[in-house]
Chains A and B, each alone.
Chain A
């Protein structure tokens, strides 16, 4: 599993030019192609709205969101009988750690995304970043001493 430290070192004053790497969550919960739908549903009820799906080399292959689970339920499927591979959205949006927050916010808004997986140059999952993480960072980097 990834490291547990959060990068909070030197904070650039210019918020939009901060990078995804400084803000992302590295302890990302992921599932495999064969993980069952009901297991994923209970993960989500505990915490978050989307879970990345990886292969055995940690390469990002898909993402299962609440949207996908509701679609499966809507189709009359039983979540316990379905696997991540069957309900996931393949080839999902992802960003690189060096992406700046200005670009990230643009991508999030333009594509109606709440959580985006972060991958390295070999498409391996290294983290995840949510709208809320960006908002928290903004508040904690002292928005009060801005103009």
Chain B
């Protein structure tokens, strides 16, 4: 859930933090999850990338739809590919205390759509560009 969904009154949108905007309880996979399973997760749950974590929750990478599409076009069998082979290691991350203004700049500069949120290198949430837009609209509703 996103905290912004429960806002009852407006506030200055630029003061919103990542903690308020992000989705917690994120779907994730391990480095040994196969690509076909990842493809099913993405299409069923409707998101374009999936964080890859170790058993203790440490973030190790991210698999995007681009990575899957490339493997498909190359004619590889998705069942035989592991997340670790196609993921991008060391992805861009944000922390919960960053503000909307700070992360908006990051999204704009790097053309990112979804970014993992980490606390001590462990995954605690995911922030999508859509969450920024949603939080902004929600906060700005009664604020002027």
Give the 4 A-B residue pairs with the shortest CB-CB distance, closest first.
A131-B65, A66-B129, A105-B69, A105-B73
Bound: A108/B68 CA distance, A: 12
Which B residues lie within 8 Å of A139 (CB)? 36, 39-40, 43
Which A residues lie within 8 Å of B42 (CB)? 132, 135
The reply to whether A45 and B104 form a contact with Cβ atoms under 8 Å apart is no
Q: Judge whether B57 is part of the interface by a CB distance below 8 angstroms.
A: no
Bound: A110/B67 CA distance, A: 12
| Known contacts A42-B137, A67-B108, A70-B133, A114 near B48 by CB under 8 Å | yes
Give the number of residues in B that approach A within 8 Å (Cβ atoms): 33
| Known contacts A45-B133, A70-B104, A114-B113, A108 near B46 by CB under 8 Å | no
Name the contact of A67 in the complex, choosing from B69, B73, B129 (C-beta under 8 A).
B129
Bound: A102/B72 CA distance, A: 9
| Chain A residues at the B interface, C-beta cutoff of 8 Å | 15-16, 38, 41-42, 44-45, 49, 66-67, 69-71, 73-74, 101-102, 105-106, 108-109, 112, 114, 131-132, 134-136, 138-139, 143-144, 146-147
Mask, B42-85, CB within 8 Å of A = 1, is: 11001010000000000000000110111011010111000000
Which B residues lie within 8 Å of A138 (CB)? 39, 72
The reply to whether A41 and B69 form a contact with Cβ atoms under 8 Å apart is no
The reply to whether A135 and B36 form a contact with Cβ atoms under 8 Å apart is no
Which B residues lie within 8 Å of A135 (CB)? 39, 42-43, 65, 68-69, 72
The reply to whether A131 and B69 form a contact with Cβ atoms under 8 Å apart is yes
Which B residues lie within 8 Å of A112 (CB)? 111
Beyond A41-B137, A66-B130, A138-B39, 19 extra complex contacts between A and B, CB < 8 Å: A44-B133, A67-B107, A67-B111, A70-B132, A74-B104, A105-B69, A114-B48, A131-B48, A131-B65, A132-B46, A134-B72, A135-B42, A135-B43, A136-B43, A139-B43, A143-B36, A143-B78, A146-B77, A147-B77
